[in-house]
Structure 1
Amino acid sequence: MWIAWTSLSSREDAEGIARQTVEQGLAACVQLDGPIRSTYRWQGQLEQTEEWRLCFKLLPEQAAALEALVHRLHPYEVPEWLCVEAAQVSEKYLSWARSSG
Structure 2
Amino acid sequence: MSGYVTVYMTASSAAEADRIASALVEDRLVACVNILGEVQSVYRWEGAVRHDTEVALVAKTRASLFDALTARVRALHAYEVPCIVSWPIDAGNPAYLSWIEAETAGTPGK
CA apart distance, 1:14: 0.5
- Counterparts of 1:5 and 1:13, CA distance in 2: 15
1:67 aligns with 2:81: no
Partner of 1:46, secondary structure, is strand
Q: Report the counterpart of residue 95 of structure 1 in structure 2.
A: 98
| Superposed counterparts of 1:32-71, under 5 Å | 32-71=35-74
**What's the TM-score, normalizing by structure 2?**
0.87
Q: Identify unmatched segments of 5+ residues in structure 1.
A: none
Amino acid at match of 1:19: S
Q: CA RMSD in A?
A: 0.9
- Counterparts of 2:81 and 2:102, CA distance in 1: 32
Aligned-pair identity (%): 34
- Counterparts of 2:48 and 2:63, CA distance in 1: 36
**What's the TM-score, normalizing by structure 1?**
0.95
Following TM superposition, the consecutive aligned residue runs of length 4 or more in structure 1 with deviations greater than 6 angstroms are: none
- Counterparts of 2:11 and 2:23, CA distance in 1: 15
CA apart distance, 1:71: 1.0
Q: Report the counterpart of residue 89 of structure 2 in structure 1.
A: 86
1:6 aligns with 2:9: yes
Q: Identify unmatched segments of 5+ residues in structure 2.
A: 105-110
Amino acid at match of 1:95: S
